[in-house]
Amino acid sequence: MSPPLTLKETMRAAGDPRLTEWHQKLVTKGIEKKALDEKLNTDIARRDQVKTQMDKIQPDVEQFETRQEKEKEVSSAPNAWPSLMKQKEILEVMVLAAKTSKVKQNHLVILTERNERSDEKKALQKRNDPLARLLK
């Protein structure tokens, strides 16, 4: 007889009738414990693997969160950009209007001076007309 079988027969013959039942429960609990230990080791290995992966992607996550915060700041004031753009366009139009006004004023001054010079030229020609006839 093998040693485990000898032990069982001895417990059945000499021991408490519940001894065999207790032994069977111990064997079952031992098998369950071994399965739970294996599952625990597998879960610990998986946890460590996931933790390593998380540590690797942590900088990317922080960068993503920072970018989201910046986008939120920009999008939180959606009317600020259009109003600034409108103000810029208004200022550009005002500058162009001022330049146009200045150019018109300069143009009027030049026209006035030209007309005055033309009148002076006609007056000089009229005054020099007798002399010009003599030279011909």
For residue 44, the model assigns a pLDDT of: 95
**Same domain (yes/no): 8, 59:** yes
Could you state, in chain order, the average pLDDT of each consecutive group of 10 residues for the chain (136 residues)? 81 77 90 95 95 92 88 68 75 89 90 91 85 76
**Same domain (yes/no): 61, 111:** no
Report CA torsion sign: 72, 75, 76, 77: positive
Domain count, the chain: 2
pTM score? 0.42
For residue 82, the model assigns a pLDDT of: 64
For residue 47, the model assigns a pLDDT of: 95
What domain range includes position 20? 1-76
For residue 40, the model assigns a pLDDT of: 95
11 Cβ contact partners less than 8 Å away, ≥ 6 residues apart = 19, 20, 23
